[in-house]
Amino acid sequence: LSLYNFLIIIILILFLLAVFSAIAVIVLHYLSITFNQRTKQFAERWEESFFDYLSSDKDPDDLINQIPKSNYKYLLEFIKPLLINLRGDDYIKFSKLIYETSVYKYLISSLKSRSKQRKMKAAYFLGLSRAAKAKDILIANLNSKDELVIISVSLALARLNAVDSADYILKVLRKRTTISNDTLYSILVEFDKEICSHLLRTFKKENLHSKIIIISVFRHFKFLEAAETALKELSSAQEKTLIIALIKFLSEVGYKQSEHKIKYFRLHNNPDVRKNAVVAYGKIASPGRENKIVELINDRNWGVQLNAAEALWKYSQKGKDLLNSIACNLKDKKAASAARMILSYNTIFNK
């Protein structure tokens, strides 16, 4: 192959690619416009019927049977904001349009399809409508190889409040090293508060990462019943993220018995632990223990200094007075700076 021929072939390929790109954009644009138009037309055609249904005792099937199956994708787009924003009886009536009609079958067949996108969409709507009868098939989809499908299915199960699937969700998601603690936590807090009792029962058997997430969930729901277990765990905890999660939880629920233990962690060698412990201690400590916080305003870490100053300000009048005197003390410039910054924010900004 001569250089000349090679260049001609490359030019032809590039030319075809350019033409293909141009056609692709036009086609994609047309498809997108058509979809939006049809969704709009669907809304115009059916909006009144939907609100009639809402204000009557009609069977959801009566309404859905009038809509051709080919229009279900527009129906779902139309119903999505309503399901997100409606509450109470209105929400229940709209969700029945999904799980008590042929839309449910449509979603289940999507969940069984090979397309990841269809699976994710189906899981989303089954979760959004709290279609409890889809629980088993959703659990089966937790075995998917695709991480995004697993997350969608987990969220759906959480919205269904399928408490008994929580352990399995944790187990499956924990295997995925790319899923963060925050992501897992945001899935678990989609369950109702009763998830906490379930998680408390299994807490001891869980591994370190799961324990961290479970404690964050307890904190979200302010689940005081877990405080004793958490305090025991804190006695033996070595890993900083777990220690921080436990400290935050115990102070959030105001578990007085943990005061002594938290006091100890305020002097931990890790600055992140100290940072959180000093705030937690400020919240939970009995009056008159402010001097234990003052020690940390001279900490070598700026974050600990600021948190110590914040803790002094937040929880007692004596703390506020101490903070004022530290701010005026010119001997320790760093501590004074931290104190002044917190005083600035809390006195001026909160007025």
Partner 1 sequence: MTAGLTYYLLLYTDFVIIYFFCITSIYLILNIVSFRRIRRYQKKVKYEELNKIFRLTEHKSISLIIPAYNEEVGIVDNLKSLLHLEYPNYQLIVVNDGSTDNTLKLLFEKFSLRQISFAPYYQIKCKTIKAVYRSSVNPSLIVVDKANGGKADAINAGINISKHSLITVIDADSILERDSLLKIVRPFVEDENVVAVGGSIRIANGCRINHGHIEEVRLSKSWLARFQVVEYLRAFLFGRNGFDGINGIMIVSGAFSCFSREALINIGGYKAGSIGEDMEIIVRMHKEFRPVNPKSRITFIPDPVCWTEAPENLKLLKKQRIRWQKGTFESVLLHKKLFFNLKYEWLGFLVFPYFTIFELIGPIIEVTGYVVFIICLSLGIINTETAVLFLLVAVLYGIVLSLLAVVLEEISFKRYNNIKDLIILFAAAILENFGYRQMTAVWRFMGVVEYLFGKKAWGHMERKGIENPAKGRI
CB of 162 to partner 1, least distance (A): 19
Please choose, out of 161-169, 173-181, 227-235, 257-265, the segment that lies near partner 1 by the rule CB under 8 A: 173-181
* Alpha carbons 228 and 108: distance in angstroms, whole number: 43
How far is residue 301's CA from residue 242's CA, in Å, rounded to a whole number?
21
Residue where the block lists tokens 């992140």: 272
Site mask for partner 1 (CB under 8 A), range 20-49, x = bound: -xx-xxx-xx--xx----------------
In b/e form, how buried is each residue of 313-322, taking b as 16+ CB within 10 angstroms? bebbeebbeb
| d(C-alpha 169, C-alpha 97), whole Å | 28
Of the residues 56, 65, 102, 117, which one makes contact with partner 1 according to CB under 8 A: 117
Nearer CB in complex with partner 1: 96/248: 248
- C-alpha to C-alpha distance for 225 and 30, rounded to whole angstroms: 57
Chain centre to alpha carbon of residue 67: 35
Calculate the alpha carbon distances from 271 to 158, 276, 303, 305, 342 in Å: 35, 9, 8, 10, 19
- Residue-wise over 76-114: b if at least 16 C-beta within 10 A, else e? bbbbeebbeebeeeebebbbbbbbbbebbebbbebbeee
Concatenated DSSP letters of 55-99 = TS---HHHHHTTS-GGGHHHHHHHHHHHHHH--HHHHHHHHHHHH
Of 201, 284, 327, 332, the one binding partner 1 by CB under 8 A: 327
Which of 53, 104 has the CB closer to partner 1? 104
Q: Is 328 in the site for partner 1 (CB under 8 A)?
A: no
Sole window of 7-15, 67-75, 102-110, 260-268 interacting with partner 1 (rule: CB under 8 A): 7-15
Cβ at position 26, least distance to partner 1 in Å:
8
Q: Given the rule CB under 8 A, which of 37-45, 129-137, 166-174, 177-185 is the region that contacts partner 1? A: 177-185
Token pair for residue 287?
């009056």
**Residue from the set 44, 48, 84, 236 that interacts with partner 1 by CB under 8 A:** 84
- Segment near partner 1 (CB under 8 A); pick from 95-103, 163-171, 292-300, 337-345: 337-345
CA 219 to centroid of chain Cα atoms? 13
| Interhelix angle 302-315/271-284, nearest 10 degrees | 10
- Residues ≥6 apart with Cβ < 8 Å to 270: 240
Q: Does 208 bind partner 1 (CB under 8 A)?
A: no
Nearer to partner 1, 37 or 65 (CB): 37
Indicate the residue among 183 and 270 with the shorter CB distance to partner 1: 183
220 binds partner 1 (CB under 8 A): yes
Chain-centroid distance of CA 32 in Å reads: 30
Size of the site for partner 1 (CB under 8 A): 52
Indicate which single residue of 62, 182, 194, 225 sits in contact with partner 1 (rule: CB under 8 A).
Answer: 182
Rounded distance, CA 277 to CA 255, Å?
14
Q: Which is nearer to partner 1, 145 or 349 (CB)?
A: 349
**For residues 50-79, which are near partner 1 according to CB under 8 A?**
none
Q: How far is the CB of 108 from partner 1 (least distance, A)?
A: 17
Task: Please select the residue that binds partner 1; options are 17, 132, 140, 208, rule is CB under 8 A.
Answer: 17
Residue of 8, 92, 132, 140 interacting with partner 1 (CB under 8 A): 8
d(C-alpha 98, C-alpha 70), whole Å: 15
| Amino acid (one-letter) located at 209 | H
Within residues 257-316, the interface with partner 1 by CB under 8 A covers: 302-303, 306
Which one, of 219, 284, 163, lies nearest residue 230 by Cα? 219
| Tokens of residue 296, six digits | 């940390």
| Site residues for partner 1 per CB under 8 A | 3-4, 7-8, 10-11, 14-15, 17-18, 21-22, 24-26, 28-29, 32-33, 84, 116-117, 120-121, 124, 148, 152, 178, 180-183, 185-186, 189, 216, 219-220, 252, 302-303, 306, 327, 337-338, 340-341, 343-345, 348-349
